[in-house]
Amino acid sequence: MITILNDDFSQLNSFLHGKSFSKIFILVDENTHEYCLPVLLGNMETDLGFEILEVEAGEEMKNIQTANQLWEILTEMQADRKALVINLGGGVITDMGGFVASTYKRGVHFINIPTTLLSMCDASIGGKTGIDLMHYKNMVGTFAFPEQIFIYPKFLETLPFKELRSGFAEMLKHGLIADKSHWESLIQIHKLDVETIIPHIHTSMDIKQDVVEKDFHERNIRKTLNFGHTIGHSVESLCLSQGNPILHGEAVAMGMICEAHLAYLEDLISKQDAETVIENIQRYYPYLDISDFTDEAITALLLNDKKNTDSKINFSLLSAIGACTYDHQCTQKNILESLNFYRKLNNA
């Protein structure tokens, strides 16, 4: 299902020729329109007609209003159930494009061509689609696999450094929850750039894909992929609600620091392991100021997390470097202590 594209895009063209699609719709934002779409169109060989659907870039556009506009455009252009939607972009495009395609006329074909490190290693893989509801992350969505995922690593050369660093957080997470050797290889990288990251991408993709294949609907082990996301998503949502969105990986890095300390407080990992995790994440990610967010505001969002049951917050927490538990319910005292621990890092 995941294919690494060669420069001639022959595998993508073989896929297009081998299917009986009626029309192609390519979803982009203004960034991928400028930097990635010319590469795709210059290498895509098909006799099918195609239309370009462009949305504004940014997490704040991943909402029901944008989805509704896309449904209306597909309807106006008479897209039928044999249409193909190509999601060419980062996590916002693959999340939202998959959601629109999987719900339009109860589902049309779609493929993902991720253009960011985060979407290559994480967002485009696993069949989760979604949009945000108000400022709550991914509250509305579907489980729907794309027909195929095509990875073109050279798209990473179009990214600013902050986007590369954002995706690297998910790679670190994959190592921490499932593969200690992957984690240890990643923390040997002293300078984050395309050249140093590309050799490790396939391992991260394999980890994500393996977990998803074991538990597609997130009833057990797939929950481990949420390490760092419970607190991270809350902070990301609060930033979004204030009109000051941050990159997903920045929030996840902050969340992993808090949740590594929380795992120590819950006696799941040693203090030494917690410090190892935290100190290495700090090497790559600057401190994220959460001084404006009260414990009550963060806790309110934690209580709305999708993994929760019976109004109890379920965390995915490390049990070792390279292993993770799920459905762990922590004491309120320890949750707040983990937040205070992070706040104090700014003065350390």
Indicate if 222 belongs to the active site. yes
Catalytic option among 33, 135, 182, 222: 222
306 confidence band (pLDDT: 50, 70, 90): confident
Mean pLDDT, all residues of the chain: 95
Residues 6+ apart with CB under 8 A from 168: 117, 186, 192, 197, 249, 284
Indicate if 248 belongs to the active site. yes
Catalytic option among 208, 223, 261, 328: 208
310 confidence band (pLDDT: 50, 70, 90): low
Catalytic option among 170, 236, 250, 266: 170
Indicate if 233 belongs to the active site. yes
Chain segment 210-251, per-residue pLDDT in tens: 999 999 999 999 999 999 999 999 999 999 999 999 999 999
Q: Which helix (H) or strand (E) holds 26?
A: strand 24-29
Indicate if 314 belongs to the active site. no
For residue 348, pLDDT over 90 is answered with no
Output the pLDDT for position 304.
81
pTM: 0.93
- How far CA 108 is from CA of 10, 21, 24, 304, in Å, comes to 24, 10, 11, 30
What's the rounded Cα separation, in Å, for the pair 229 and 308?
Answer: 13
Catalytic option among 23, 62, 223, 248: 248
What's the rounded Cα separation, in Å, for the pair 181 and 175?
Answer: 7
Q: What value does the mean pLDDT take over residues 53-75? A: 97
Catalytic option among 165, 173, 233, 261: 233
Asked if 124 contacts 149 with a C-beta cutoff of 8 angstroms, the reply is yes
Q: How many CB atoms lie within 10 A of CB 81?
A: 11
Indicate if 157 belongs to the active site. no
Chain segment 102-134, per-residue pLDDT in tens: 999 999 999 999 999 999 999 999 999 999 998
For 189-277, strand residue ranges (E) read none
What's the rounded Cα separation, in Å, for the pair 36 and 13?
Answer: 17
Output the pLDDT for position 305.
76
- Take residue 293 and report the two structure tokens written for it: 């967010």
Q: How many CB atoms lie within 10 A of CB 289?
A: 10
Output the pLDDT for position 296.
94
Output the pLDDT for position 303.
87
Q: What value does the mean pLDDT take over residues 18-30? A: 96
Q: What value does the mean pLDDT take over residues 34-58? A: 96
Indicate if 259 belongs to the active site. no
